[in-house]
Amino acid sequence: GAAELGPYRHFMQKEIFEQPRAIADTLQGVEGISSELFGEEAASVLGKIDSLLILACGTSYYAGLTAKYWLESIAKIQVEVEIASEYRYRDSVPDENKLVVTISQSGETADTLAGLRHANELGMLNSLTICNVSTSAMVRECMLSYITRAGVEIGVASTKAFTTQLTALFLLSLTIAKIRGKLSEKQEAAHLKSLRHLPVAISAVLALEPQIIAWAEEFSKYDNALFLGRGIHYPIALEGALKLKEISYIHAEAYPAGELKHGPLALVTDKMPVVTIAPKDDLLEKLKSNMQEVRARGGQLYVFADSDTQMISEEGIHVIRMPENYGLLSPILHVIPLQLLAYHTALVRGTDVDKPRNLAKSVTVE
């Protein structure tokens, strides 16, 4: 009811602003990196696996795609990420040394549960879930678990569940890295420090809301949008496009920026806004040349850059700078303005933000 909303207009907005607290709660009790974070049996299970299969749906699937970058770069372990409804119905090659990881806010999504059971039937019994509901079927059926502490999420479009999933997945990456001897004490301390600073860093990003409201006014006039990212920010582009289509009903697609020339460039006109996630990383120069290709066709760029980039707003290029460059954890910060952009665009368009048409909070039937 209205009382629970406090100063917010919708649960989605409230949940976006709860993210500093949700992440702090998810990290509560984490004193150092150890397998116990994932359950008693974690030391033996995580010690014997040699690859991961991540299964999930919707926003949780994009958390999995993001985690692949962390797991492969920090823990040097091979990761496959698959949409649960695809995995359960195809012939795949089972491998009993694989850890099956499910990611789910509700812990009740029918396809994700069926994917887990399918993997079990194929003899893959090592399983771990990142889940927001400790009493859910997913937690009961997985050997290991990490419970995110996002709190109840009411908005159909997932926000705080996603960033807490990412937090837990980063912890998983560090844990597996440590077990495999890929994490020095110094690195562990540095990663923990940046994890613990996340709530403060996110609060600074949330303070960008007025600038995003200004963008949303323009944005709400478009019928289509393209989201570009590279590397670990490609899954964040996917999540930004999903948020926008779910609640504003603007058709949105995400592309890894390097693929622009293999198709989507044909769609770029002055009627196509292109949201670009442009953190200052090794791929920034390549991304800038992708942006020029968009500008040359009249496309309107909406760029989320880092504090330490030179990029400035000019004709057809709108830039919002993130308060700080957050390195490996940057995806957790960069998704926040995309959530706000979707929210405020939907608000201008007058859609039912918390209950978008045809969608359900948790899909417990196929």
- Work out the number of other CB atoms within 10 angstroms of the CB of residue 121: 10
286 noted as active-site residue:
no
The Cα-based distances of 308 to 204, 234, 278, 288, 311 in angstroms read: 15, 20, 11, 15, 9
Asked if 79 and 106 count as a contact pair (C-beta separation under 8 A), the reply is no
By beta-carbon proximity to ligand G6P, the closer residue of 158 and 290 is: 158
Nearest to ligand G6P of 103, 260 (CB atom): 103
Phi, then psi, of 147 in degrees rounded to 5: -95, 120
- Annotated catalytic residue: which of 280, 288, 355, 361? 361
Local structure of residue 74 (DSSP, 8 states): I
The residues near 109 (Cβ < 8 Å, ≥ 6 apart) are 56, 57, 58, 60, 84, 138, 362, 363, 364
Binding-site ranges for ligand G6P (CB under 6 A): 57-60, 104-106, 109, 112, 156-158, 359, 361-363
Pick 58 or 279: Cβ nearer ligand G6P:
58
> Which residue bears the tokens 């045809």?
358
Q: How far is the CB of 98 from ligand G6P (least distance, A)?
A: 20
The least distance separating ligand G6P from the CB of residue 61, rounded to whole angstroms, comes to 8
CA nearest neighbour of 164 among 144, 140, 147, 141: 147
Q: Please, which residue, 129 or 345, has the CB nearer to ligand G6P?
A: 129
Q: CA nearest 14: which of 323, 243, 332, 339?
A: 339
Q: Which of 315, 314, 229, 221 is nearest to 271 (CA)?
A: 221
Q: Which residue is nearest to ligand G6P (CB)?
A: 58
Residue 357 Cβ, how far from ligand G6P at the closest point, in Å?
Answer: 12
Q: How far is the CB of 158 from ligand G6P (least distance, A)?
A: 4
Q: How far is the CB of 62 from ligand G6P (least distance, A)?
A: 8
Distances (CA, A) of 54 to 57, 243, 251: 10, 21, 27
> Taking a C-beta distance cutoff of 8 angstroms, is the pair 167, 27 a contact?
yes
Q: Which is nearer to ligand G6P, 56 or 275 (CB)?
A: 56
Residues that are catalytic: 361
